[in-house]
Amino acid sequence: MKINRFKASILFMFSIGVFASCSDDNGGPTPVEPDGKDKFVLITMSENNLQKPGFATAFDALPSGNVVNNGSNSFQGMGFGGWRPHGNQLLKMFNSKTNELGIDQLLVDGNGKISAGKFIAADNNSNGSGNFVIHDENKGYYWDGASPLKIQTFNPTNMTRTGELDFASVVNERGQNVPEILFRSIGQKFLAIKAGKLYANISYAKTNGPQKGFFDDYFPDVYIAVIDIATGKYDKTIKIEDTGSIAYINDNNMYDFDSNGDLYIVTQGRSAVGGKSKIVRIKANETDIDKTWSLNMDEIQQGGKFVSVFAKEGKIITVIPNTKLTGGPSGNINFENVWEFYQIDIASKQRTKISGIPTVTNPGAAFCAIDLDGKTLLRVNTKDGSQNGYYELTGTSAKALFNVTAGGSVSGLYKIVAGQ
């Protein structure tokens, strides 16, 4: 995913070193940090299970060649399927110590040592708890399943909850007295900020169990509340017509901003294996879904869906399945080599398969592509693990930048200034 919310070369107004100088939640010592240094932090997932164990390592330079990501200087933890760095912070939705849901912070000192930082806890029984977005160094928003009709606010600088915004009346404007709707939420699966507005999806679910809100939508359209950030007031509700679940929430938030400010949003479809999956957009100076443009997976691959999006300079990069997706223990959706990289011209919708790169497994919670030091890097992992790293894209072809030989499958790479 491109990082205009994640521009690795742009430093946030505050640094991870600020956090490193503070005690952690367990009252740990206050380290003295050396001067700030560029660090390239790589995360990998070592096992394919719900705990998502893995490793994080800070390198002094962009890795190349064969890379070991579970060395003596690596940090081992949980919830390493992906992450959502922002500015100069390493953040993710799963606690590194317990894998509990919330907003988790990783700290990197000037020597490259990684440790667990502060954690904002959220309801651990509702998928989507901890879904967050950051506006600036003082204000961020997240969803907590304990209060599904509210959006929580937090301070990203000191990693503390600061309040909540109640949108019960907004959510309940629709579907009143519909007995099939068993669960409602706002911001559970989609939170984005564009031009002073917060966008939050509204879910109307037909189930109220552990997977409530996911592929159980009552309405055929996706509803999104538009909220003014300056006032915290609700503006309106917009909708993505005739699709399915806006996202299966994890650290891959499944949206991206193009260089011109247009916002591109993934909807995954009617079920976990797709159907009616789309990529849609909200143009830079608008607040409504652009009804003149969309990419429809059903027109590309029947029985498929979009699982990631990266936008840059009028082009979209995504992975597209080369066969019908199947789920379950023997399904192909996650760990089979059925996903192919494509570059899509936004204006013409012409698709070009990216050459020089193998067919890969589902990126899942990891971003399929990132922007790092002006380079567009593609996350590559094959079933047998022989290709497991990042490829650099030039035009419509890519070549291997580095390959991880130990530590698990690649799930994130980001540049920070450590130890400030």
The per-residue pLDDT for range 317-367, each reduced to its tens digit, is: 999 999 999 999 999 999 999 999 999 999 999 999 999 999 999 999 999
User: Going by C-beta distance under 8 Å and a sequence separation of 6 or more, which residues neighbour residue 316?
Assistant: 264, 279, 295, 309, 310, 343, 344, 346
Report which residue type is found at 134.
Answer: I
Specify the pairing of strand 222-228 against strand 101-108.
Answer: unpaired
User: Going by C-beta distance under 8 Å and a sequence separation of 6 or more, which residues neighbour residue 330?
Assistant: none
Q: 78 phi and psi, to 5 degrees?
A: -115, 170
Report which residue type is found at 254.
Answer: M
Q: What's CA 360's distance to the chain center, in Å?
A: 19
Structure letter (DSSP) for residue 147: S
* pLDDT tens digits along 355-401: 999 999 999 999 999 999 999 999 999 999 999 999 999 999 999 99
Partners of residue 222 on adjacent β-strands: 240
Structure letter (DSSP) for residue 396: T
CB count, 10 Å around CB of 152? 23
CA distances in angstroms from 226 to 151, 167, 232, 318, 407, listed in the order given:
12, 11, 10, 26, 41
* pLDDT tens digits along 12-51: 333 333 333 333 444 444 444 445 699 999 999 999 999 9
DSSP H or E segment with residue 18 = helix 16-20
Q: Give the pair of three-digit tokens for residue 212.
A: 């409530």
Q: Is 19 helix (H, G, I), strand (E, B) or coil?
A: helix
The answer to whether 188 and 131 are in contact (CB under 8 A) is: yes
H and E: helices and strands count for the chain: 2, 28
pLDDT tens-digit profile, the chain (420 residues): 454 433 333 333 333 333 333 334 444 444 444 456 999 999 999 999 999 999 999 999 999 999 999 999 999 999 999 999 999 999 999 999 999 999 999 999 999 999 999 999 999 999 999 999 999 999 999 999 999 999 999 999 999 999 999 999 999 999 999 999 999 999 999 999 999 999 999 999 999 998 899 999 999 999 999 999 999 999 999 999 999 888 777 999 999 999 999 999 999 999 999 999 999 999 999 999 999 999 999 999 999 999 999 999 999 999 999 999 999 999 999 999 999 999 999 999 999 999 999 999 999 999 999 999 999 999 999 999 999 999 999 999 999 999 999 999 999 999 999 976
CA distances in angstroms from 289 to 213, 259, 261, 280, 402, listed in the order given:
22, 18, 14, 7, 39
112 in the Ramachandran plot: left (φ > 0), alpha (ψ -120 to 50) or beta? left
Q: Is 297 helix (H, G, I), strand (E, B) or coil?
A: helix
Mean pLDDT value across the chain: 92
Tally of residues, the chain: 420
Report which residue type is found at 99.
Answer: N
Partners of residue 374 on adjacent β-strands: none
Distance CA 222, CA 382 (A): 33
User: Going by C-beta distance under 8 Å and a sequence separation of 6 or more, which residues neighbour residue 231?
Assistant: none
Q: How far apart are the first and last CA of the chain?
A: 26
